Structure 1
Amino acid sequence: MRYVVTSRNAAAESVYGLVRAVLGGEIPLRIRCWDGSEAGPPDAPVRLVLRRRRALRRLVWAPNELGIARCFVSGDLDVESDFFESLSHLERVVGSQSGTLDVDGAVKWDVIKTGLRLRAFGLPPKPPAEEIRLGGRLHSKRRDAEAISHHYDVGNDFYALVLGPSMTYSCAVWGEGVTSLEEAQTAKVDLVARKLGLREGMRVLDVGCGWGTFVIHAAREYGARAVGVTLSQAQADFARKRVAEEGLSDLVEIRVQDYRDVRDGPYDAISSIGMAEHVGQSMLPTYAKALYDLLKPEGRLLNHAISRKAGVPGRTTDKTSFINRYVFPDGELEPVSVMAGAIEEAGFEIRDVEALREHYALTLRAWVANLEEHWQDAVRLTSEGRARVWRLYMAASALTFERGSIGVNQVLAVKTSDKGKSGFPRTRTALLS
């Protein structure tokens, strides 16, 4: 593929050649640099802008996914082409499983020479303010609360722009005839309610209740008495306001509480929707046993969680992971077999597993569209860096779901009675009716 260089000695020529050498020349790319120079095919589908020389220093000190994320979040690097298409082409970097650029000795020497010529070496730039590194014991109650606060306490108004009126931050269900995000999220919470067999007067616990969408649906549509727990004060404040506005305060209680501290069982049903990713593999036995102990005999658990493929190492706790430093600190994705195994070992009987991978890709694309449509408001409500974090995270995640690298599953389980009774209907059709 031929490319154009605006000036023989311009920065873009050197950067363009270096990028092609490092990435094997496989990305149809055009680059514009801080000095106004450009290189690469004019019609390339990927158009990157290095707004500051500092971007190169970031990559010198972190030649991996984290370095690229720091460039984008800080605004040192921008994408002027279609964001999804560009990320798709750049997946060898952004979605790399190794996380670090793997180059041979000759290319490394070229990197050094180019860096010297472009004055890219120096002390490491300070990471963007949106980056976090947690301290303390992994998955202690204090550290988990800090991790949740980092992700969720960025402003309810910001989340409202991204999530839409449902304020539901998990995979929607896009059934036949469903065209809007709001319809798809309503379909999801109703699917959970039906799988749990909710009826009037039943007592249901929602672990990681978010902004209260499921507990409100369970109370309003099924007459259930619902308790929602979250570690986010901002979420709890918002959820309580919604509950009051719906006139459901006599049926719904919202608590700021760790699932390990819930002691007021038994419950007839428990939902955990998009929360188990924060638990961590080492804590899965504790998590599953705590929920088992809170249920009545014949009580049901619906565990809705993102999963990774078996045999593929988890990346979210990797120190070079964008997700770990900027989005979900300490989050861990486990294969559905590991999650199901922990649930079974706690004493549950698994009755149904449903994969919703393609649904999450559609959900994420809808969230990205909302963010892009309300970009200026999102920046005003948080920061440009925070808005950039969410745009990169959601778009890259959508592509990852579409590729099948990760999935999302609803595992439905029951605490059988001493006599082995489950209370389940004989068919799946009857279960969902």
Structure 2
Amino acid sequence: MADAASRLTALAKDLLGHPLPMRIRAWDGSEAGPPDAPVLVVRHRRALRRLLWRPGELGLARAWVAGELDVDGDLYEALDRLAGLIWERGADAKDAVHAVRDPRFRAAARGLLQLAGPWPPPPPPAEEVRRRSGPLHTKRRDKEAISHHYDVGNDFYELVLGPSMVYSCAYWSKDTTLEQAQADKLDLICRKLALKKGDRLLDVGCGWGSMAIHAAREYGARVVGVTLSTEQAAYARKRIADQGLTDLIEIRVQDYRDVKDGPYDAISSIGMAEHVGAARYREYADELYALLKPGGRLLNHQIARRPEKDEAAYHVDAFIDAYVFPDGELAPVGRTAAALEEAGFEVRDVEAIREHYGLTLRQWVANLEANWAEAQRLTSPGRARVWRLYMAACAVAFERNRIGVNQILAVRTPEDGTSGLPLRPRAWTETTS
């Protein structure tokens, strides 16, 4: 077992067909690889057994969450270097079969088995969502998925998100703070929706109440916010009471499919539609359309993936599904816009703000790292590691244009065709009178 790092570096090169773009530090203290690269720290041979049992993203994630893998150096640079191995899969099935049949590949696999130590592999970390059964995106299953992600603890989210308690992409300008960038995002949405005093706003997936509070306090809107998270709802209600806004805002623990008290003048859906699922997206669009009055506006703020050459080959990110957003699905922005139009909406504006999410995520990671000991105490060491990896990896994904985020403004245009939008809507300050 002497000089495990050199052996791992050589085996990785044979398995991948090219050198690993990282330096390796192994459990025996040895190091090998490019001297100027971030260091992949393999703390225990168990990490190799996880990778052999679940090659690729899920095996890496399990080893990371368990603390058997770490990075010494710039985490973003490390993820950027590993992106081609983990996410940007260029080889097709024929290439994979050819590699497996290559004698050098098979010899390297045997060497890795010897280095990994005795089987079987360890069980998945406790933070992993266990195998689920039954149809996707039923009300029960959605509630369980939301609870896994959002009922981690409000104190933990305060550490990560900061005072704004907004868990979606901020809207940045030069030299602004996270708090101001989130306030600017909420205000942008209110202006796009043309909110005014007395308007009824439905905030779907209301989180900790930040959008509801901003719309009521700054615009005089009467807001109903719905969430499936009991912890979010309790936190939002307290914030609302503390600000004296209980006469304008109602927070419900309710599925959006159970909201039946329309019509509303406007609907905001900010970072919620990612949970809906491809099979249910038309239902989501139909439900929101039915809840709007004629002339009412929907602002749909949603993460989007890039289209696949073969859409049938699309698969949900294994790490995200197992540890972060169970049952979450991303769709290309064109598919989202098409579903909204099929439901009857007129799509009037699409604003892509991809770069803003990279900036937001980096700030959340900085908040987490600055409060690392407290974050582990409030959740668990494994859960804190999940969040650090998830947010840093997503920052890289936005920066590399693997995923994007868009605000779609859609209108339930009445039969006479009057949308109510100004001729130059991008100013978002003009009145419609």
TM, length-normalised to structure 2: 0.93
Contact 2:316 2:329 in 1 (8 A): no
Assess, with a 3 A threshold, how the Cα gap between structure 1 residues 181 and 313 changes in structure 2: closer, same or farther: farther
Contact 2:46 2:116 in 1 (8 A): no
Superimposed CA distance per residue, residues 69-119 of structure 1 (whole angstroms, 9 cap, x where no aligned partner): 111110011111111111111112333447999544334422332134325
Contact 1:368 1:395 in 2 (8 A): yes
Q: Read off the aligned partner of 1:25 and give its amino acid letter.
A: H
The Cα RMSD (Å) is 2.1
Contact 1:316 1:324 in 2 (8 A): no
Assess, with a 3 A threshold, how the Cα gap between structure 1 residues 236 and 417 changes in structure 2: closer, same or farther: same
Q: 1:213 aligns with which of 210, 215, 218?
A: 210
1:229-308 equivalences in 2 (<5 Å): 229-308=226-305
Q: Read off the aligned partner of 1:419 and give its amino acid letter.
A: D
Q: Read off the aligned partner of 2:71 and give its amino acid letter.
A: V
Q: Read off the aligned partner of 2:170 and give its amino acid letter.
A: A
Assess, with a 3 A threshold, how the Cα gap between structure 1 residues 302 and 312 changes in structure 2: closer, same or farther: farther
Q: 1:353 aligns with which of 342, 350, 354?
A: 350
Whether 2:400 is the aligned partner of 1:403: answer yes
Q: 1:45 aligns with which of 37, 48, 60?
A: 37
* Unaligned ranges ≥5, structure 1: 1-7
2:74 is matched with which residue? 82
Q: CA deviation at 1:404?
A: 0.8
Q: Read off the aligned partner of 2:12 and give its amino acid letter.
A: V
Identity of counterpart residues, as a percentage? Answer: 60
Contact 1:68 1:94 in 2 (8 A): no
Assess, with a 3 A threshold, how the Cα gap between structure 1 residues 317 and 337 changes in structure 2: closer, same or farther: closer
1:142 is matched with which residue? 140
Contact 1:316 1:332 in 2 (8 A): no
SS of equivalent to 2:428: helix
Assess, with a 3 A threshold, how the Cα gap between structure 1 residues 28 and 316 changes in structure 2: closer, same or farther: same
Q: CA deviation at 1:26?
A: 4.1
Whether 2:389 is the aligned partner of 1:386: answer no
1:194 is matched with which residue? 191
The whole-number CA distance in structure 1 between the counterparts of 2:300 and 2:379 is 31
Superimposed CA distance per residue, residues 145-186 of structure 1 (whole angstroms, 9 cap, x where no aligned partner): 1111111110111111111100000000002x4521001000
1:12 is matched with which residue? 5
Q: CA deviation at 1:421?
A: 1.9
Q: 1:161 aligns with which of 159, 162, 172?
A: 159
How many pairs does the alignment contain? 424
The whole-number CA distance in structure 1 between the counterparts of 2:321 and 2:341 is 28
Contact 1:316 1:328 in 2 (8 A): no
Whether 2:405 is the aligned partner of 1:413: answer no
SS of equivalent to 1:67: helix
Contact 2:22 2:78 in 1 (8 A): no
Contact 1:65 1:96 in 2 (8 A): no
* Unaligned ranges ≥5, structure 2: none
Assess, with a 3 A threshold, how the Cα gap between structure 1 residues 330 and 317 changes in structure 2: closer, same or farther: farther
Moved over 6 A (4+): 98-101, 313-317
SS of equivalent to 1:322: helix
